[in-house]
Amino acid sequence: MAVGNLTQDELDGIYAFAVDLGRKAGNMLMERVEQRISGGDALSQQFEEKDNAVDIVTQTDEDVEVFIRKAIHAQYPSHKFLGEETYAKGQSREYLIDEHPTWCIDPLDGTVNYTHIFPMFCVSIGFIVQHRPVIGVIYAPFQDQLFSACSGRGAWLNESRQLPLVRRPAVPPMPANAPAQCIFACEWGKDRRDIPDGNMHRKIESFVNLAAELGGRDGKGGMVHGVRSLGSATMDLAYTAMGAFDIWWEGGCWEWDVAAGIAILLEAGGLVTTANPPDDPETAPIEDVRLGSRLYLAIRPAGPSATETGRQSQERAVRAVWRRVRQLSYTRPGA
Amino acid sequence: MAVGNLTQDELDGIYAFAVDLGRKAGNMLMERVEQRISGGDALSQQFEEKDNAVDIVTQTDEDVEVFIRKAIHAQYPSHKFLGEETYAKGQSREYLIDEHPTWCIDPLDGTVNYTHIFPMFCVSIGFIVQHRPVIGVIYAPFQDQLFSACSGRGAWLNESRQLPLVRRPAVPPMPANAPAQCIFACEWGKDRRDIPDGNMHRKIESFVNLAAELGGRDGKGGMVHGVRSLGSATMDLAYTAMGAFDIWWEGGCWEWDVAAGIAILLEAGGLVTTANPPDDPETAPIEDVRLGSRLYLAIRPAGPSATETGRQSQERAVRAVWRRVRQLSYTRPGA
């Protein structure tokens, strides 16, 4: 399957390069952790604060981004490059991705986890053509979990096991009473301002609606099977692609946090749209997510039942979430 | 170091047996997962509901508990045994552990995670003498992470790397402004009743206090570095022992969820006390946790600073949490 001006052969070559690059970059992250451990200094990783005390960056983020950028530039000098740390140093907050082949990467997602050596940190490498993420590589080196996908080639765990962890014909539909029986993944995020009806409080209200017993919360109670927060949007998406999480709902992260994960989720058969409920959640069209929108709702791959296609069961789950969540306010120019 | 009537040699033998048993039981969990995956049936694990729709048990929980119970009875016929599934089938909800050597085990912690194949599931094996957890083994087979400790023998990851992941003299104290700069682990749990000022709402209010910006929430804002929920109390405790989490606060789980984790946390140098703040959180004595209390607050291992012992910095963190959380109502007879 060709994508843009790229043949499947060319895509396959880029995919192999991206997987190799992901492993190397993840190994760099892990080497730094090993150095901290063997130096008896594991919890003293230095970091600098960006927007606030929980928005941090380490020298490792910057070093690994430079490594990835140089490797891509040497191999594919005509491709564009967008990395979290490069972007953070730029003046513009515009959405910079256009129709050209573009690498969109986060050298270290879960930086807070990384500084504390909680294993949920990873490198995220996405490749985008004509605004569509077509290749994704996510590598969490502490756990040696490499998630990857290429358009037309399937989605994989450690390059050997097909994602989701089920054979395609047997993927179950979303539960009939979703969000009940679903694992719901979400993040508290970096916006902790205690503003009445601000983002933090709207998020929490939404989480509580999804968690509360059926019939509770004025009928909004969703009684999800579990609420999980890992501190990494990228890992959330990877686990949703794998089917370990059923629903991921998030506002506030950026395109480099999700580009690779969206490529993997879509190739695995998942759905991703906006987190913000439209005025009529029951009938509004369910549109493809805008990569730079900072508002994401992902549903795991789902197969058909006797009465629904897989896509129908996913859309039912989207509407079930939209009915229970508040609109979030994360914006930017140009997206 | 002798414990009760047991010499260190006897304890060492029990420890080696427990580690071996943990690996075998974890491998049983993983074999069942592999069967589901290779059968194309990964997400269709059958389960039964216990107290409500999110309190579930599978045949695997029961089979693994039987395996562990038989192995222990064959090796140590005089030891007492308390397992989650055995207890659940009993008539009494009393706290059953007395001064005798007792095994306290959860064959599968994170059963919801297990049914969804989210990797945060594990077996938990604790050994208690004179009410004190002295041996703990936690094995999460999907990630091949085995946490273990024996009184007098240190705390370990995969039997080779000392916990916490720092050399003892270099363990940092709790942050000066804790709970800021701390990763805070907590769980939404199974009690989802939408009762005004009920457990769910008290938990959420407490979580929000810890997460909100400094100065927010009428001064209760803690601006923690991150809020994490894994869906496994046992894994939360293991990661706190490792120093990956700084603070774990939880109500509602049971002694088999925490016995092994407490043994590991204590041997690593952590502190565990009650989740429920006393009337005077600033001056009340910080007492050792009661294993059957269902209310737990754990603080990671901490070393000294120029002005505090490690224990003093941990106690400061306990009080900083107590000032921000609500009392929870989880009770039982006999504890």
B272/B227 same-domain check: yes
Which of B163, B125, B141 lies closest to B258 in space, CA to CA?
B125
> Are the beta carbons of B43 and A245 separated by less than 8 Å?
no
B83/B191 same-domain check: no
Taking a C-beta distance cutoff of 8 angstroms, is the pair A153, A15 a contact?
yes
Interface probe for B, chosen from A116, A213, A227 (most Cβ of B below 10 Å), is A116
A184/A206 same-domain check: yes
Residue A33 placed within a domain: yes
pLDDT tens for residues A75-88?
999 999 999 888 88
Per-residue pLDDT tens, chain B, 335 aa: give them. 678 889 999 999 999 999 999 999 999 999 999 888 877 666 666 778 888 888 878 889 999 999 999 999 999 999 999 998 888 888 778 888 889 999 999 999 999 999 999 999 999 999 999 999 999 999 999 999 999 999 999 999 999 888 887 655 578 999 999 999 999 999 999 999 999 999 999 999 999 999 999 999 999 999 999 999 999 999 999 999 999 999 999 999 999 999 999 999 999 999 999 999 999 999 999 999 999 999 999 999 999 999 999 999 999 999 999 999 999 999 887 55
> What is the rounded CA–CA span in Å between residue A81 and residue A100?
10
Among B residues 151-170, those touching chain A with beta carbons less than 8 Å apart: 161, 164-167, 169-170
Partners of residue A246 in chain B, C-beta under 8 Å: 116
- Bridge partners (DSSP) listed for residue A137: A125, A148
Partners of residue B181 in chain A, C-beta under 8 Å: 53
Min Cα distance A279 → chain B (Å) is: 26
Instruction: Tell me: ipTM over 0.85.
Output: yes
Partners of residue A167 in chain B, C-beta under 8 Å: 40
* Residue A246 assigned to a binding site: no
Residue B174 DSSP class: P
- Residue with the two structure tokens 């429920």: B276
Q: Residue A100 belongs to a domain with what CATH number?
A: 3.30.540.10
Q: Does A47 touch chain B (CB under 8 A)?
A: no
Residue A327 placed within a domain: no
> Are the beta carbons of A37 and B165 separated by less than 8 Å?
yes
Q: Which residues contact A197 (CB under 8 A, 6 or more apart)?
A: none
Q: Which amino acid is located at B25 in the chain?
A: A
Q: Where a domain ends, among B133, B164, B195?
A: B164
Tokens encoding A11: 């895509």
Band (A90; pLDDT cuts 50, 70, 90): confident
pLDDT at A42: 64
Q: What total of structural domains would you count in chain A?
A: 2
DSSP state letters, B115-156:
HHT-S--EEEEEEEETTEEEEEEEEETTTTEEEEEETTTEEE
Residue B66 placed within a domain: yes
Residue B60 placed within a domain: yes
Residue A13 placed within a domain: yes
> Are the beta carbons of B117 and A244 separated by less than 8 Å?
yes
Q: Where a domain ends, among A130, A164, A198?
A: A164
How many Cβ atoms from other residues are within 10 Å of residue B260's Cβ?
Answer: 35
A147/A214 same-domain check: no
Band (A169; pLDDT cuts 50, 70, 90): low
> What is the rounded CA–CA span in Å between residue B150 and residue B138?
12
- Residue with the two structure tokens 């609500």: B326
Partners of residue B224 in chain A, C-beta under 8 Å: 54
Is pLDDT at A167 greater than 60 in this prediction? no
Q: Where a domain ends, among B115, B145, B164?
A: B164
> What is the rounded CA–CA span in Å between residue A49 and residue A66?
20
Interface probe for B, chosen from A30, A48, A109, A118 (most Cβ of B below 10 Å), is A118
Q: Which helix or strand (DSSP H or E) is residue B80 part of?
A: strand B80-83
> Are the beta carbons of A192 and B239 separated by less than 8 Å?
no
Residue B41 DSSP class: -
> What is the rounded CA–CA span in Å between residue A203 and residue A211?
12
Residue A333 placed within a domain: no
pLDDT tens for residues A202-255?
999 999 999 999 999 999 999 999 999 999 999 999 999 999 999 999 999 999
Domain extent, residue A70, equals: 8-164
B194/B71 same-domain check: no
> What is the rounded CA–CA span in Å between residue B245 and residue B183?
5
Q: Residue B298 belongs to a domain with what CATH number?
A: 3.40.190.80
Residue B2 placed within a domain: no
B191/B44 same-domain check: no
Mean pLDDT, chain A, whole residue set: 93
A192/A65 same-domain check: no
Q: Does A243 touch chain B (CB under 8 A)?
A: yes
> What is the rounded CA–CA span in Å between residue A114 and residue A121?
6
Q: Which amino acid is located at A104 in the chain?
A: C
- Residue ranges for the known binding site of B for Mg(2+) are 84, 106, 108-109, 257
B278/B222 same-domain check: yes
Residue A89 placed within a domain: yes
Select the residue of B171, B201, B231 nearest A228 (Cβ to Cβ): B231
Interface probe for B, chosen from A58, A188, A201, A230 (most Cβ of B below 10 Å), is A188
Is pLDDT at A282 greater than 70 in this prediction? yes
Handedness of CA A60, A61, A64, A69 (dihedral sign): negative
> Are the beta carbons of B183 and A112 separated by less than 8 Å?
yes
> What is the rounded CA–CA span in Å between residue A29 and residue B2?
42
Quick one: average pLDDT of A281-303?
A: 96
Quick one: average pLDDT of A24-38?
A: 91
Q: Which residues contact B34 (CB under 8 A, 6 or more apart)?
A: none
Question: What are the contacts of A31-38 at 24+ separation with CB within 8 A?
Answer: A32/A60, A33/A114, A33/A117, A33/A142, A36/A117, A37/A117, A37/B161, A37/B165, A37/B166
> Are the beta carbons of B208 and A223 separated by less than 8 Å?
no
> Are the beta carbons of B212 and A194 separated by less than 8 Å?
yes
> What is the rounded CA–CA span in Å between residue B196 and residue B97?
34
A199/A153 same-domain check: no
- Residue with the two structure tokens 């791959």: A301
> What is the rounded CA–CA span in Å between residue A288 and residue A286?
7
> Are the beta carbons of A116 and B243 separated by less than 8 Å?
yes
B131/B181 same-domain check: no
Min Cα distance A77 → chain B (Å) is: 38
B32/B110 same-domain check: yes
Select the residue of B54, B211, B223 nearest A223 (Cβ to Cβ): B54
Q: In the 3-class helix/strand/coil scheme, how is chain A assigned residue by residue?
A: CCECCECHHHHHHHHHHHHHHHHHHHHHHHHHHHHHHHCCCHHHCCCEECCCCCCEECHHHHHHHHHHHHHHHHHCCCCEEEEHHHHHHCCCCCCCCCCCCEEEEEEEECHHHHHHCCCCCEEEEEEEECCEEEEEEEEECCCCEEEEEECCCEEEECCCEEECCCCHHHCCCCCCCCCECCEEECCCCCCCCCCCCCHHHHHHHHHHHHHCCCCCHHHCCCCECEEEECCCHHHHHHHHHHCCCCEEEEECCCHHHHHHHHHHHHHHCCEEECCCCCCCCCCCCCCCCCCCCCEEEEECCCCCCCCCCHHHHHHHHHHHHHCCCCCCCCCCCCC
> Are the beta carbons of B119 and A244 separated by less than 8 Å?
yes
A263/A177 same-domain check: yes
Partners of residue A164 in chain B, C-beta under 8 Å: 42-43
